[in-house]
Structure 1
Amino acid sequence: MRRISAGSSLAIAMACSPSLAAQEAALDPAPAVEAPANGAQRYTPGDFASFSPRTALDMVEKVPGFLIVTGTNGGARGLGAATENVLINGERIANKSTDARSALQRIAATQVAHVDIVDGASLNVPGLTGQVANVVLVAGAAQAGLTTTIRWQPEWRPRIADNWLAGEVSTTGRLGGTTVTLSLKNDANRQGHWGPEERFDGDDVLQFTREEFARYYGDRPRLALALARTTTSGNKWNFNLGGQLQKIHDRVSSVSVRPTNGIVRETFESIEDEHNFDIGGDYELGLGKGRLKLIGLYRFEHSPNVDTFVVDQAIGGRSGERFKQTADEDESILRGEYGWRTAGGTDWQVALEGAYNTLDVDAEFATLQPDGSFLPVIFGGETTKVEEKRGDASLTWGRALASNLTAQINLGAEYSELSSSGPGGLTRRFVRPKGKLALAWKVGPRTTINYHLQRRVDQLNFFDFASSVDVANGQGNGGNGLLVPPILNRTELEFVQDMGAWGNASVAFAYAYAQDLVDQIPLSPTTEGRGNLPGAHLYRVSSKATLLLDRLGWKGARINSDLTWRRNRVRDPLTGGWRDQSQGQEYLVDVSLRHDIPASKLAWGAGYFDERNSPNLRLDAIEHDYTKGAFVTAFVEHKNVAGFTVKLSYRNLEAMTDAFDRTVFVDRRDGPIAFSESRRRKFGQYFQLTMTGTL
């Protein structure tokens, strides 16, 4: 799949392994727990009764002050440490193709015994800090027969094709002593927007106005199978297999009237036809005083992509460009973990991991000929191959330092050999230490302070090694064989306050000194591409809260908030001065109201969302992609329509629009301006229906 980051607009207990019981929500029995462990705050099914939850996701989303960390491990280096703040039966979700929401969506609410919110540092799961949700399943829940969860989410937008195909169906049950989960999911989208784009010359004089219409359609059906079994001796094995098709078709068309060319019609089209699959498994057994887990994973992705830009001028004729790229990616991982607990209550884990990643890119840049054919043009990036061989070793130590203070220390190092055959290609070898210290201090019955200090090695986007051409904007990136993975030296302090009947709130302060962040840099006096920056400073303040309004007399009402402020300061490779990181988040405001009407099956609510990112700075252009106004929604929900929860949302009530401003310079952006463009596209109000249920 084509990527912008590692790996169009806003309108648009101790198991650190990818256990399939967690990945695909397989329901092996969990040991009964009589009281919350590790100082956890427990939520039972009765605490969620007023919401009539259908799935485990419905339950976790209603925990006061808790937000699920979304995303998958697809962009992480191998399997490594945990990256999401959800556990299932004490095991992390580490499948590189499944995120926490997808896993929880496949578990029926009736199969959940309780949800514990616990401090990550108190768990022997490397990578976890702050609040973590451990979803504990009812023992033997999967023995009662097949359980099917269904989610359907159609959407109707103005001037855009209706989206009927977004949803998921998942069935879990037992065949003999093996838990089987089969799921089919389609992340379908039908999006678009329209409006004017004004173009100005270097003196800010209007040259012409384009009337534009864009649509972005995609279907991503994925079929996955998971098997899980616990033997009579207590050994566990898991196996998963998944395959996906990605059919993506984007099209942007415009018409303008220009003084020297008359009527001009421009069309940009991008088509991607990808298929991918993954296969993995693990086996865990008792060995000596501890447990040994062996893990294997293989992933493959084939992604052909074609971008075409054609201009038809009443005076001047027809011209165009095409950029074709076919990419094959694969990843192979072997990992072993051995963990044990001493008589004094100290948890230890030793882990070894080996990984081999490759990317093969074949590309072609061509120009449109008078006969309608495209003639290839040499641009220096026709073929690129990137390989990385990596070994990783880590040791984790965790224990309670006092009755109200727990600590976890993870020390590790990685060796990597990175080679590329593209522009400036070479082979390099690196050894990088890394690790993490995490502390959880229960200051009082309702107050917790979490702290962590971390040195993290991030994954490169292998596509940055390859040359590419942006035919829509007349830009290109040269490949860079000198890229090295970024390193983040990060510290964070979080305060969590349980406000009892009033809800829950937290605030966190974070700082990171980043080495080798990837941004646009000069590769030669005339070319630019992705490269590493000097040391940078990253700042963040964030807050998450849930305010329950029952004590104010508004029974069943609550307000959720997620607020973030960031400043990512980097050295500009062109001017040498400090500036914001390209496309770095500046702020996020996400506030919602929900009211579950007492003694009824009805609920209603509203949401407010606003986010702003910094401009993207190329060496010859400044590009700012943002939104005008906030995204406001309202919904009504009925919790029992023929056994389904049905939610109807009316979205974009305040008519938020997508905006894009671009300034292009004659040479570099510290010189004179060649031209500028200002775009405003609206996408109107629209409806979304969500139906969730179990059979």
Structure 2
Amino acid sequence: MSRALFRSALLAGAILTPTLARAVPPSATDTGAIVYTPADFARFAPRTALDMLNQLPGFTIRSEDGGRGLGQATENVLINGQRVANKSGGAIDELQRTNAASVERIELVDAARLGIAGLSGQVANVVLKAEKKGQGQFEWKPQIRAHYAYPRIINGSASWSDKAGPFDYKLSVQTQGGRGAFGGPITITDGAGNVIERRSERFRALSELPRFAATTKIDGWGSSEGNVTLAYTPYWTHSDITDRRVRADGDNRTRFTKQRQSNGSVFDANADYSFALGPGRLKVIGVHKFDHEPTDTVQTTRFDSGRPDEGVRFFRLARISETIGRAEYDWKIGRNSFQLSLERADNRLDQRGRLSLLDPAGNFVEQEFPGGSGIVQERRYESLLTFSRALSPKLDVQLVGGGEISKLKRVDGNLPARKFFRPKGSLTLGWRPSAPWDVSLKFNRKVGQISFYDFLSQPRLAEDRQNSGNPDLVPPQSWEAELEVGRKLGPWGQTRLRAFRHWITDIIDIIPIGEDGDGVGNLPRASETGFEWTSTFTLDPMGFKGAKLDTGLFVQRTRVRDPLTGDLRPISGSQKLGINVGLRHDIPGSKWAWGVSANHNVSARDYYLNEIGHGWEGPWFDEWFVENKDVAGLKVRATVVNLSNARHRNDRLVYAGRRNVSPLLFRQQNNQLIGPIFMLSVQGSF
């Protein structure tokens, strides 16, 4: 750990140990759990369960990391004490579609007490009431940008929950698309700093992803129960980049890059059923997800001189599937809790890629492109045994051990299938030394995920870059140590500090492939060291009634050895710094609230073999809102983002060959307008 990072951690630790009020909130229980009831959130007028969760003081929601299969849990949110084990949004997605009136309470508990493999630190358990009558909710969220972007008028969600006999069901529709846009100047200079080209670029993108879902909960015989979720998401996306290029040599031109995804769709089904069996309880889970993803990218260049247009087209039809079967058996012996899990996962990518070039007659002619098509599949078996025990009223331990066996292959290639055995496991300690404090320490052995797309060639036309496929890619593995410390500050709120150190093998990065190609591959070793500090400060004690301040600070230092120079450098694109500050004021005695927030992020450069790039937006993004909690029974919020004029920036260094031995060919610098973004939110119930 660098000296600067060490000093920052010491400063955060010093701030974390104030001598403010030592009182335990009145909702604290003897088990160390903190219980929040709907009354604690009344001033925010929440309409969904997720609205409540977002207002938990000092709590950072962590979604599932999209890792291998279902495996160990990473989402730190439970519903009725159970992990929502699916690949389609998990508990957070479910709570977004759950009416706030259905929430009985929210418990903040130490993960080591739960017996759920993978969790550490503080976990939110949302306890829901049984449905008694039908209830619905909706939200309309239009968005308009001042510059370049298409407006987004049809945006929002609606859901209906009801009960029919032994079935609780929920029907929902939710739009998940978005808009993006920026535009402005780009300057290109040669190795000596002379301007050789000026560009005026406009980028805009839109996506529409309506998700239709139906969820059913079944109360079976005895204590058995089951859940079934079916979801279908058709989608349409497209993006356009238009840039005018004025060159020093007079060979001016205009380039158009268009990407379309039409008639794409995702279907996913999740089902689970649990019942008493012998001394314990068995839960069986089935998951299937299928993505039909056609992508058409066309790039053409028109010359002022009148010479024939140049162009390239890449069409990719991808079919992606994942099927998971999992069984979990839980039982207790005295104060000891056990869980044995068995899982099988089948993943498959079938990609058909076609590369075409524009001929002088204006027709696209298909080229030989064998690296752009193929089938990649993996079959994996995993088994884990979890042991949990309360060693004392203040100390809990959880131990997880097991491993996975996998078989990975290119079905249509001539390379033999590769087989792997990878151990997995973790040790978690949860300690509550005194009423205001909680401490969690976790040591973890983790196997990461890989993208099957990286096994095949993927032209990046907008960046003028060709990523070669790599059939030898393997998942990264890591040893991880994390320490999390939380302190309740009585009437002032609470604060948490998480420090971590990760030792990674087979890190995913850009590596040389062949004589002059590059693509995604594995580097031997890397490390990540840093901390995350989040706090919620209630300002009532200082006379600012109804106000609270949410803060977050993330600092990280990463290291990997560059495959060309042999020098240590940051992991490509890794986050180095994140700062978030937000003030919310619910005006006492009124239905009005207002707030302002700002965030600042710094990331590492992206390292390729022939170039180094750094893209970012900022330096600061601000957000301002005003909210009325009862406009004819509706909750209405108006928001404006980016009044501080954060801009889209890029600094790209491109070399004539390998960057460690070749001169600089050109430098590209973007400084482009994003502009303000105006949003409206209207929430209601029916």
So what's the TM-score if we normalise by structure 2? 0.94
In structure 2, C-alpha distance between the alignment counterparts of 1:92 and 1:637, rounded to whole Å: 33
Conservation of the 8 A alpha-carbon contact between 2:77 and 2:92: no
Counterpart position of 1:377: 367
Among candidates 239, 248, 257, match of residue 228 of structure 2: 239
Larger mean Cα displacement after TM superposition, 249-258 or 546-555? 249-258
In structure 2, C-alpha distance between the alignment counterparts of 1:673 and 1:35, rounded to whole Å: 62
In structure 2, C-alpha distance between the alignment counterparts of 1:559 and 1:109, rounded to whole Å: 23
- Residue 481 in structure 1 maps to residue 471 in structure 2: yes
TM-superposed CA distance for 1:502, in Å, is 0.3
TM-superposed CA distance for 1:523, in Å, is 1.2
Counterpart position of 2:556: 566
Conservation of the 8 A alpha-carbon contact between 1:609 and 1:630: yes
Counterpart position of 1:445: 435
Among candidates 641, 658, 666, match of residue 648 of structure 2: 658
Q: Secondary structure at the match of 2:462?
A: coil
Conservation of the 8 A alpha-carbon contact between 1:424 and 1:480: no
Letter in 2 for 1:294: V
- Residue 104 in structure 1 maps to residue 95 in structure 2: yes
Among candidates 242, 249, 254, match of residue 238 of structure 2: 249
Moved over 2 A (4+): 34-38, 99-102, 256-263, 421-426
In structure 1, C-alpha distance between the alignment counterparts of 2:87 and 2:532, rounded to whole Å: 27
In structure 2, C-alpha distance between the alignment counterparts of 1:473 and 1:129, rounded to whole Å: 40
Unaligned runs of 5+ in 2: 1-26
**What is the aligned residue count?**
656
Letter in 2 for 1:217: L
Q: How does 1:548-627 map to 2 (within 5 A)?
A: 548-627=538-617
Counterpart position of 1:121: 112
Among candidates 254, 258, 262, match of residue 265 of structure 1: 254
In structure 2, C-alpha distance between the alignment counterparts of 1:83 and 1:582, rounded to whole Å: 24
CA 1:424–1:558: 2 relative to 1, 3 Å: farther
Q: Secondary structure at the match of 1:46?
A: helix
In structure 1, C-alpha distance between the alignment counterparts of 2:551 and 2:36, rounded to whole Å: 20
Alignment deviations for residues 288-310 of structure 1 (CA, whole Å, 9 cap, x no partner): 11000111111111111111111
Q: Secondary structure at the match of 1:364?
A: strand
- Residue 684 in structure 1 maps to residue 672 in structure 2: no
Q: Secondary structure at the match of 1:472?
A: helix
- Residue 53 in structure 1 maps to residue 33 in structure 2: no
- Residue 157 in structure 1 maps to residue 145 in structure 2: yes
Counterpart position of 2:166: 177
Conservation of the 8 A alpha-carbon contact between 1:488 and 1:512: yes
Letter in 1 for 2:553: L
Letter in 2 for 1:180: Y
Counterpart position of 1:210: 199
TM-superposed CA distance for 1:365, in Å, is 1.3
CA 1:35–1:605: 2 relative to 1, 3 Å: closer
In structure 2, C-alpha distance between the alignment counterparts of 1:469 and 1:334, rounded to whole Å: 35
Q: How does 1:620-639 map to 2 (within 5 A)?
A: 620-639=610-629
TM-superposed CA distance for 1:370, in Å, is 2.1
Counterpart position of 2:218: 229
- Residue 506 in structure 1 maps to residue 496 in structure 2: yes
So what's the TM-score if we normalise by structure 1? 0.92
TM-superposed CA distance for 1:232, in Å, is 4.2
Counterpart position of 2:11: none
- Residue 310 in structure 1 maps to residue 292 in structure 2: no
TM-superposed CA distance for 1:380, in Å, is 3.4
Alignment deviations for residues 551-576 of structure 1 (CA, whole Å, 9 cap, x no partner): 00000100001210111100111111
TM-superposed CA distance for 1:101, in Å, is 3.3
Counterpart position of 1:5: none
In structure 1, C-alpha distance between the alignment counterparts of 2:261 and 2:606, rounded to whole Å: 24
In structure 1, C-alpha distance between the alignment counterparts of 2:30 and 2:90, rounded to whole Å: 25
Counterpart position of 2:23: none
Q: Secondary structure at the match of 1:218?
A: strand
Larger mean Cα displacement after TM superposition, 651-660 or 103-112? 103-112
Conservation of the 8 A alpha-carbon contact between 1:650 and 1:688: yes
Structural RMSD (CA): 1.5
Letter in 1 for 2:410: S
TM-superposed CA distance for 1:444, in Å, is 0.7
Counterpart position of 1:297: 287
TM-superposed CA distance for 1:179, in Å, is 0.6
- Residue 356 in structure 1 maps to residue 357 in structure 2: no
- Residue 675 in structure 1 maps to residue 666 in structure 2: yes
Conservation of the 8 A alpha-carbon contact between 1:36 and 1:116: no
CA 1:287–1:408: 2 relative to 1, 3 Å: same
Larger mean Cα displacement after TM superposition, 498-507 or 54-63? 54-63
Q: Identity of aligned pairs, percent? A: 36
Unaligned runs of 5+ in 1: 1-33
In structure 2, C-alpha distance between the alignment counterparts of 1:579 and 1:463, rounded to whole Å: 26
Conservation of the 8 A alpha-carbon contact between 2:551 and 2:581: yes
- Residue 336 in structure 1 maps to residue 327 in structure 2: yes
Larger mean Cα displacement after TM superposition, 227-236 or 495-504? 227-236
Counterpart position of 1:186: 175
TM-superposed CA distance for 1:88, in Å, is 0.7
TM-superposed CA distance for 1:262, in Å, is 4.4
TM-superposed CA distance for 1:257, in Å, is 2.2
In structure 1, C-alpha distance between the alignment counterparts of 2:216 and 2:602, rounded to whole Å: 42
TM-superposed CA distance for 1:473, in Å, is 2.5
- Residue 368 in structure 1 maps to residue 361 in structure 2: no
In structure 2, C-alpha distance between the alignment counterparts of 1:380 and 1:202, rounded to whole Å: 36
In structure 1, C-alpha distance between the alignment counterparts of 2:664 and 2:536, rounded to whole Å: 48
Counterpart position of 2:55: 62
In structure 1, C-alpha distance between the alignment counterparts of 2:219 and 2:509, rounded to whole Å: 47
In structure 2, C-alpha distance between the alignment counterparts of 1:521 and 1:422, rounded to whole Å: 24
TM-superposed CA distance for 1:60, in Å, is 1.3
Counterpart position of 1:30: none
Conservation of the 8 A alpha-carbon contact between 1:172 and 1:180: yes
CA 1:473–1:47: 2 relative to 1, 3 Å: closer
In structure 1, C-alpha distance between the alignment counterparts of 2:90 and 2:658, rounded to whole Å: 42
Alignment deviations for residues 550-601 of structure 1 (CA, whole Å, 9 cap, x no partner): 0000001000012101111001111111000001111111110000000111
Letter in 2 for 1:323: F
TM-superposed CA distance for 1:424, in Å, is 7.6
Q: Secondary structure at the match of 2:528?
A: strand
Q: Secondary structure at the match of 2:50?
A: helix
TM-superposed CA distance for 1:645, in Å, is 1.2
Letter in 2 for 1:157: R
TM-superposed CA distance for 1:422, in Å, is 6.7
Letter in 2 for 1:322: R
In structure 2, C-alpha distance between the alignment counterparts of 1:678 and 1:205, rounded to whole Å: 13
TM-superposed CA distance for 1:513, in Å, is 0.4
Conservation of the 8 A alpha-carbon contact between 2:549 and 2:583: yes
Counterpart position of 2:16: none
Counterpart position of 1:9: none
In structure 2, C-alpha distance between the alignment counterparts of 1:545 and 1:370, rounded to whole Å: 62
Conservation of the 8 A alpha-carbon contact between 2:601 and 2:619: no
Letter in 1 for 2:138: I
Letter in 2 for 1:182: L
In structure 1, C-alpha distance between the alignment counterparts of 2:372 and 2:340, rounded to whole Å: 43
